[in-house]
Amino acid sequence: MSSFERTIALLALFFLAVVIIAISYFNFVDQSIFSFFKNEEKNLRRISISYEVSDYNKVLELGSDFLFNYPQSKNKNKILIKMAESFLQKKDFDRTRKYLREIFDSKEIDALDYSDAAIVLGKVARETEAYDTAAVNYLESAFIKANEAKRSEIANYLGYLYLYGKDYQGALKYFSQGSGELSIIGQSRVYIEKGDYPGAIREYLNFFNAYPKGVYFEAVKSAFLKQSLYYAEKLEEAKSYSEALNYLSNVVFLFPRDPSSEKACIEIVDIYNTKKEYAHALSYLNRAMVNSSSQNELVFYKKGLVLYEMNQKKKALEVFQKLKEQFPDRSYSKKSDEWIELISKEFLIENTR
């Protein structure tokens, strides 16, 4: 082989080696880039799973690592939202706001992330029950940008912000555009603040119809019972007996096993006694006696009085005697002694005629 041929062969081998090295290098770079983005997606999933299982400390730990390793990630705002929500769950409202401000100040934020961040800010407002002008501005901006589903949720939180700012008209405006349990609860809260008990109670009834197994059912039930009994008492004081009976009857028929039902029954009995409609009074006393709370002593006593007024003295005597047997050391047991004595004397007089 000539010198020229050997040179050509060496050059060919050199270029072949360069090509092989270049290919290997680019394969290594491609694999590194692929591995980098693959790890990003993997870490993103880990953060989401940690949030779903309520491991908020893990979310914050993984989120901090993610932001350090992928500062330019397109998912940065989503991670910040998860971290803000985690601080919210830990009741650390200052840090929640800090992370949300970083999102709102971002130059690259899409409408969905903006809406989600605004919703978290709305949750902060509802938790703290404080009016915040900046929060109103962010949420109103998000309300305009959001899709229909997000807009209704944002409307609820705007309703609460206006409620805390005592702007009841503005609150009702947004609550009416909201949806779900919070929309109805918010409207009832506005009516209570305004002293409009019929309006609030109407919304509670709407809630029971719409969300019989709702997340906030027990809280709404408690508010309904409390406000219904309170408002019925005010109506009774004003001698608006028919209206009072309406509100008290709702309590009795909607929640017959609740202790408040027994209280409502007793109030109804007092109204019917005032109206001398003893048959109706007796009906509600029998209903109240189904319960076995400490108020049964009073129910027995009132039943004895009603039976006496209905001239069913023998049954009245039996009720007073049963009261003494079941509640021997109670105050109404001592009062029943007087009625037992009175009825016994009346029977004696009647028998000697």
pLDDT at 15: 60
The one-letter amino acid at 310: M
What is the C-alpha separation between 85 and 53, in angstroms, rounded? 13
For the segment 29-52, the average pLDDT, to the nearest whole number, is 69
Answer yes or no: is pLDDT of 32 > 80: no
pLDDT at 199: 97
Q: Confirm whether 24 is domain-assigned.
A: no
pLDDT at 25: 46
What is the C-alpha separation between 155 and 174, in angstroms, rounded? 5
Q: Confirm whether 69 is domain-assigned.
A: yes
User: What confidence tens digit (pLDDT) does each residue in 109-135 have?
Assistant: 899 999 999 999 999 999 999 999 999
Lowest average pLDDT, out of 39-48, 59-68, 109-118, 153-162, goes to: 39-48
pLDDT at 34: 38
- Per DSSP, the residues of 299-324 read HHHHHHHHHHHTT-HHHHHHHHHHHH
Q: Confirm whether 171 is domain-assigned.
A: no
Please give the share of the chain, as a percent, with pLDDT higher than 90: 68
For the segment 24-38, the average pLDDT, to the nearest whole number, is 43
User: What confidence tens digit (pLDDT) does each residue in 222-248 have?
Assistant: 999 999 999 999 999 999 999 999 999
CA 324 → CA 72, 230, 330, distances in Å? 80, 32, 8
Q: Which two tokens stand for residue 165?
A: 């700012």
Lowest average pLDDT, out of 95-99, 294-298, 329-333, goes to: 294-298
Answer yes or no: is pLDDT of 344 > 80: yes
Answer yes or no: is pLDDT of 33 > 50: no
pLDDT at 353: 57
Q: Confirm whether 207 is domain-assigned.
A: no
Rounded to 5°, the CA angle 329-335-337 comes to 85
Q: Which two tokens stand for residue 115?
A: 């809406």
pLDDT confidence tier of residue 3, bands split at 50, 70 and 90: low
What is the C-alpha separation between 108 and 85, in angstroms, rounded? 20
Answer yes or no: is pLDDT of 174 > 70: yes
Contacts of 85 (CB under 8 A, 6+ apart): 51, 96, 120
CA 189 → CA 185, 195, 246, distances in Å? 6, 10, 21
Q: Confirm whether 311 is domain-assigned.
A: yes
Q: How many domains does the chain have?
A: 2
Contacts of 211 (CB under 8 A, 6+ apart): 181, 184, 217
User: What confidence tens digit (pLDDT) does each residue in 65-77 have?
Assistant: 999 999 889 899 9
What is the C-alpha separation between 114 and 110, in angstroms, rounded? 6
The crossing angle, in degrees rounded to 10, of helices 148-164 and 168-175 is 160
Domain housing 81: 38-90
Please give the share of the chain, as a percent, with pLDDT higher than 70: 87
Q: Which two tokens stand for residue 29?
A: 């770079």
User: What confidence tens digit (pLDDT) does each residue in 8-29 have?
Assistant: 655 556 565 555 654 554 444 3
Answer for the pair 212, 196: CB distance below 8 angstroms, yes or no. Answer: no
pLDDT at 27: 47
Answer yes or no: is pLDDT of 332 > 70: yes
Q: Which of helix, strand or coil describes residue 299? A: helix
User: What confidence tens digit (pLDDT) does each residue in 162-172 have?
Assistant: 999 999 999 99
Single residue among 70, 90, 110 that ends a domain in this structure: 90
Which of the two residues, 282 and 44, has the higher pLDDT score? 282
pLDDT at 259: 87
pLDDT at 291: 63
pLDDT confidence tier of residue 59, bands split at 50, 70 and 90: very high
pLDDT at 38: 54
Q: Confirm whether 270 is domain-assigned.
A: no
Which of the two residues, 313 and 19, has the higher pLDDT score? 313
Q: Confirm whether 285 is domain-assigned.
A: no
Q: Confirm whether 197 is domain-assigned.
A: no
User: What confidence tens digit (pLDDT) does each residue in 79-95 have?
Assistant: 999 999 999 999 999 99
pLDDT at 140: 96
Contacts of 119 (CB under 8 A, 6+ apart): 142, 150, 153, 154, 157
> How many other C-beta atoms can be found within 10 angstroms of the C-beta atom of residue 286?
12
Answer yes or no: is pLDDT of 329 > 90: no
Single residue among 61, 90, 119 that ends a domain in this structure: 90
Q: Which two tokens stand for residue 336?
A: 């029943």
Task: Indicate the helix (H) or strand (E) that contains 79.
Answer: helix 76-89
Answer for the pair 248, 268: CB distance below 8 angstroms, yes or no. Answer: yes
Lowest average pLDDT, out of 56-60, 174-178, 208-212, 343-347, goes to: 343-347
